[in-house]
Structure 1
């Protein structure tokens, strides 16, 4: 197909039905057409919502007047103590027929990177996208690019894992529940053993306490102050972010909480998802310097007490030291990447002095963890 028959252009409202069907087929592996819920979400997220910026539009790949590819872009305002930056958050890169259009993905990515943003971020780059980003000057962030998992109820975790591949094995869940109930919680400070999966009790006086959305965002603003580059959200942005965070049905019920001392002093703030007998998902954990381990132990114990079979999250340079020795598995399922023509900006992310992943990225959105049905 000649270049004259194809083009890259900004998304328009009239493209939503085609983009939704593309998303349903490629990202969700559906054989049915897109639902109204999916169409409405894509329009709100990429065109009408507060994170959609006409100056940094999502892009479509058009062939013979038909939408055959897409890359999603939202905008986030990031700030230092004395200036602000516009970040393009790239996501959902997809092409209907890669064999027929082998360069379409690269063209979409290249056009997006050529935008007016100060920097581009993604935390969900697969292997192929990572290779394309590297070829365009993108810099992977290894300490942000691992998913960690802490098993909390080992017998139930093993049965749940096996039953996803062989459903009849789910009949053994009552036995697994009994086996897990026989394991006692170690005392604080007890040595960790691979044979002892039950989390240690949190330090005396430390507890996980639910908080309101307002308190969550206020604490987040406070606990991101140590970062050289941190997010700055409008009221509309916070409301839209919260609405999407509350609608990730594959992950469970959203929990907004603080890890606090007996006097109520917050040591950390967390957003996570919890469903009994399933793995809990930690979206964001921000802790005061030196309190990361205490916060993790408290969340492990809380999730264990509420019958989550495991807790998983995304690595962050400020959490890496605390994760060591806490019996977590790590795997690189997708990569976080930064791209900018400003080398100092890139270095700030590489050195871990900028907040990245979770609330700065795309994982807070319904793109990760919702069914759209």
Structure 2
């Protein structure tokens, strides 16, 4: 530091132009073109300017939340010459932590380019250290990023780092999964042979199909009604989303922009007395995949709600269902046949509050897909 100060003082005394020093600051709308183009180069490996559609989407999700404020949003490293060398994209999410409300940051992308970017990345990482954050989390971190989170005082939640996958029509599910890398397998010419193989398998092995739960029924409801059902069922968790009406409506609106995942749908599960015991929110792409964002239920009804959910999704004709793991559902979901777990990315969290960190480590926390990146087009599009 003293050497650098000496150089600066010498430059001032000689009248030479001072080099500009970089700084960490809140991302502003004027940064959208540079940040979007950086995203395109780093995550899509395309050396071109970001499309207008991507820039509009970045503005919508990183500046459009009703919770947005500069201190709760994305940050960038400004190199002092107008360039952006690195950035952390973040969305504010409101949580309740042992009765107190806090605005958390969901980190969606950490990017850097060049020498200035390397310096900036280190500065941004320091800004994200636990001692400076009320609550900051990511559900899709790489191993290297996870190590940085832990070094900064954070924790990794292993169960929330997993996705589950339940195949209803295994051959079609295989074609959809592998077809992401092998385009030939997405050909319509293969759809019928795979469907025929599934019909034969399901006829010979009826247990491929999830059993219904005696006395339980499933009913379609509007996604807007999910928050009213979820609120009392989430009271058992010390840490959980607040989902004010304005924030929830905004999340549903932006989630619906992710049309490659299908239609945003919601179902409630009722018991033999007609009482609602659970609900789930999901994207449904007809004949292909159900992407389950959130499952909620009354305490002790995990087995009935998840089993009925799988039965209903199978009856709707999906080839497979996928979703993020939650500790309170693991025992119930693991009883399913044709189910596997897949490591999606590390779920990491930093906080300066000891009670929040303790609750997370004890799995006394509910996050779920709507309070994560699962709905974002940045994972599936552009």
Both proteins in one fold, TM over 0.5: yes
Larger radius of gyration: 2
1:317 to 315, 324, 327: 327
1:335 matched to 2:366: no
**Alpha carbons of structure 1 residues 289 and 158: separation in structure 2 relative to 1, 3 Å:** same
In structure 1, the partner of 2:57 is 41
Residue 227 of structure 2: which of 217, 221, 224 is its match? Answer: 217
- The answer to whether residue 192 in structure 2 is matched with residue 174 in structure 1 is yes
Contact 2:297 2:305 in 1 (8 A): yes
Query: Residue 126 of structure 1 contacts residue 333 of structure 1 at CA under 8 Å; is this kept in 2?
Result: no
User: More displaced, 261-270 or 317-326?
Assistant: 261-270
Q: How many residues align?
A: 361
TM-score by length of 1: 0.88
**Structure 1 residues 182, 91: CA separation in 2 closer, same or farther (over 3 Å shift)?**
same
Q: 1:112 aligns with which of 128, 134, 142?
A: 128
The residue matched to 1:200 in structure 2 has which SS? Answer: coil
Partners of 1:316 and 1:33 in 2: CA distance: 39
Equivalence map 1:63-82=2 (5 Å)? 63=79, 64-80=81-97, 82=99
Q: 1:241 aligns with which of 242, 248, 251?
A: 251
* Matching residue of 2:38: 22
Distance 2:328 2:368 in 1: 12
**Contact 2:23-2:77 at 8 Å conserved across structures:** yes
Conserved 8 A contact 1:59-1:112:
no
Residues 1:238 and 1:146: Cα distance change in structure 2 (over 3 Å): same
CA–CA separation in structure 2 for the residues paired with 1:8 and 1:114: 17
State the alpha-carbon separation in 1 of the partners of residues 294 and 45 from structure 2.
28
Query: Is contact 1:272–1:280 with CA below 8 Å preserved after alignment?
Result: yes
How far has the Cα of 1:240 moved from its partner? 0.9
1:111–1:81 distance in 2 versus 1, CA, 3 Å = closer
Displacement of 1:278 in angstroms is: 2.1
When residues 144 and 10 of structure 1 are mapped into structure 2, their CA distance, relative to the original with a 3 A threshold, is same
> 1:310 deviation in Å?
0.9
Of residues 129, 136, 144, the one that matches 2:152 is: 136
Query: In the alignment, does 2:27 pair up with 1:11?
Result: yes
1:89 aligns with 2:106: yes
The alpha-carbon distance between structure 1 residues 357 and 104, as it changes in their structure 2 partners (threshold 3 A), is: farther
Contact conserved, 2:227 with 2:243, CA < 8 A, in 1?
Answer: no
Q: Aligned partners of 2:21 and 2:206: how far apart in 1?
A: 62
> In terms of mean alpha carbon deviation, does 269-278 or 344-353 score higher?
269-278
Q: What's the CA shift for 1:103?
A: 4.5
Aligned to 2:10: none
Aligned counterpart for 1:289 among listed residues 296, 299, 310: 299
The answer on whether the counterparts of 1:123 and 1:357 sit within 8 Å (CA) in structure 2 is no
CA drift of 1:202 comes to 1.1
The answer on 1:146 being equivalent to 2:162 is yes
Q: Which runs of 5+ in 2 are unaligned?
A: 5-18
User: 1:205 aligns to what SS in structure 2?
Assistant: coil
CA contact (8 A) 1:156 1:277 kept: no
Give, in angstroms, the shift of residue 117 of structure 1.
Answer: 4.0
Whole-Å Cα distance in 1 between the matches of residues 374 and 177 of structure 2? 23
Counterpart contact for 1:281–1:312, Cα < 8 Å = yes
**Mean CA deviation greater in 136-145 or 55-64:** 55-64
Take 1:43 and 1:152, find their aligned partners in 2: how far apart are those partners? 38
> 1:79: Cα distance to partner?
1.7
Please report how far the alpha carbon of residue 197 of structure 1 lies from its aligned counterpart in structure 2 after TM superposition: 6.2
Q: CA RMSD in A?
A: 2.5
Residue 80 of structure 1 deviates from its aligned partner by 4.5
**Structure 1 partner of 2:312:** 302
Q: Which of 206, 210, 220 pairs up with 2:216?
A: 206
CA shift at 1:303, angstroms? Answer: 2.0
